[in-house]
Amino acid sequence: MKKIVATFLFLLTTLSFALGDASADVEVYAEVLGPLEIETTPVNFGVVAKNSNRNTPQTEGTINIRGTEGANITVSFTSSDREWDATKGAVLVILAPNGEVDFGDLSKSLYYYADIFYNNTRLKSNSIIIPQNGEVNFNVSGTLDAGNVIPGKYKGKFTVKVQYD
């Protein structure tokens, strides 16, 4: 009986060492990218007659983004608290006297349909790889609709947001 118990304990000890413990290291990697910088210039339609449209601004605007070469960025556009997908059409921007839009009285508003161009083509993707020079440059054009509004100086804006993917 002692032999059986001794054999059983030997097998149990051998079996537990045979199952044993295992370990492995998990490696962790990260790439730190430089900061993103954005500079813009305004779109200027100049003088526009009441009840008219202007399809080309007097001066196109620009959006210039600087970041880490080869990195992927996502670009988004917001106007009037709404995000717009510039790859599917124009970004709607409402212009108002002093830039203060009165959503209760849009008769004091001009409508600007901003078209965003990258490499001389309408923006096709919100995801872009930063080229070797570290810069992504957009031109901003579009159409201004000056309907039956009160004469005066109008301004508006939209926001461009860029983040690394």
Selected residue with higher pLDDT from 117 and 7: 117
pLDDT value, residue 80: 84
Across all residues in the chain, what is the average pLDDT? 89
> What's the sign of the alpha-carbon dihedral 120, 126, 129, 133?
positive
What average pLDDT does range 18-37 have in this prediction?
90
Q: For the CA atoms of the chain, what is the radius of gyration?
A: 30
Total-model pTM: 0.80
- The average pLDDT across 117-144 equals 95
The Cβ of residue 15 has, within 10 Å, a number of other Cβ atoms equal to 10
Chain position carrying tokens 């990260």: 30
Q: Pick 65 or 165 by higher pLDDT.
A: 65
CA-to-CA separations, 102 to 94, 105, 156, in angstroms, rounded: 10, 5, 12
Cα–Cα distance for residue pair 145/148, rounded to 1 Å = 10
